[in-house]
Every structure is written in structure tokens, then in C-alpha cells.
Amino acid sequence: MKKIVSMLLLSSLIFGSCTQNPEKETGKVRFMFDPGDLKFISSSFNPDLQTMSALYGNNDALSLLADPKHEQQQASLKLVTYKMQDDPNYFGSKVNGELISVEHISTGRNGKLEYRILFGQTPTSDSKEHRISLILDYEPVRFSQ
């Protein structure tokens, strides 16, 4: 009986020590953005910059994407950009890694679009107007029911 218990204990120590924690190996912790009451709209990735982005917004933001010239009362869009990293669970796939930036576009009191960087910095040195244009070019993902 003692041999069986000691064998079980030894095997659990051996196999228990074989588990890998990718966060400890790389020293990087993945951060998941909380969009609050905003809904997922679209995503993109840039293999040249090794980044991936997710666009979130409210219902007025969807209307704004459909017709950027139409005034929206309270449109709110957030573009969240991450550095890509290898997925430790699947060979050859990528997942979001380090958070690079959170950009926000909203409708101001005068009806004009306001652009702010809420976190980090943009991956390029584009002007505010160019960043607004790029974000408004996103096509919403259509989910079939």
C-alpha cells in the first residue's frame, strides 16, 4: 500500500512539474480590454506591424460607420490595438499580446467628431484626421442569425 501511495505521489510530482505557464516563460501578461457597454464592431490585423485591432462602438457609432456625413447624437467608437504574439496553445497561430493603444472617437457638442488617445500611442505617426478616416473605414462584421 505504501508503494502505491508513494508511486502516485511521485508521478503527480513529475507530471505536475511539467505544466508550462507561457506568461512566466515570456514575462508578458495578456491584457483583455473591457469595452463596457460598447459592442464589438470589427477587427483587423497588420502583419507588417505585427499588430491586431478590435473596434467597439455603440448603436450611434454603427450609424456613423454607415454614413459618416450624417450627424450622430452620441456616437462612441474605441479602436483597441494589441501587439501580436504566438499562441502558446496552437502552433502557427497568433493572439493579442501587449496592449499598444486605445483610440476614441466621439461626437462632440457641436456635432463634430472628437479624437483622443485614451492609452498608449498610435502605431504610426498619422494625423488625427487621418486616424479618424482610417477608423471610419472599418466595415462592421455582419452576424447571421
Asked which of 4-18, 24-38, 130-144 is least confident by mean pLDDT, the reply is 4-18
pLDDT of 39 strictly over 90: yes
Residue owning grid cell 471610419: 136
CA-based nearest residue to 84, from 30, 21, 20, 138 = 30
Q: What is the pLDDT of residue 102?
A: 93
Q: What is the pLDDT of residue 21?
A: 46
- Using one digit for the tens of pLDDT, what is the confidence trace for 97-109? 788 899 999 987 7
Task: Indicate the helix (H) or strand (E) that contains 116.
Answer: strand 113-120
Q: What is the pLDDT of residue 72?
A: 65
Output phi, psi for 37, to 5 deg. Answer: -90, 5
State the amino acid at position 6 in one-letter form: S
Q: What is the pLDDT of residue 138?
A: 92
Residue 139 CA to its chain's centroid (Å)? 16
Q: What is the pLDDT of residue 55?
A: 95
State the amino acid at position 24 in one-letter form: K
Q: What is the mean pLDDT of the chain?
A: 77
For residues 79-99, b (16+ Cβ closer than 10 Å) or e, as one string? bbbbbbbeeeeeeeebebbeb
Q: What is the pLDDT of residue 145?
A: 67
Q: What is the pLDDT of residue 83?
A: 87
Q: What is the pLDDT of residue 127?
A: 87
Contact 87, 94 (CB under 8 A): yes
CA distance 30 to 85: 10
Q: Which residue has the higher pLDDT, 74 or 25?
A: 74
The pLDDT-based confidence of 115 (bands split at 50, 70, 90) is: very high
CA distance 79 to 103: 5
Percent of the chain with pLDDT over 90: 25
Count other Cβ atoms within 10 Å, centred on residue 76.
Answer: 19
CA distance 5 to 36: 50
* pTM score of the predicted model: 0.73
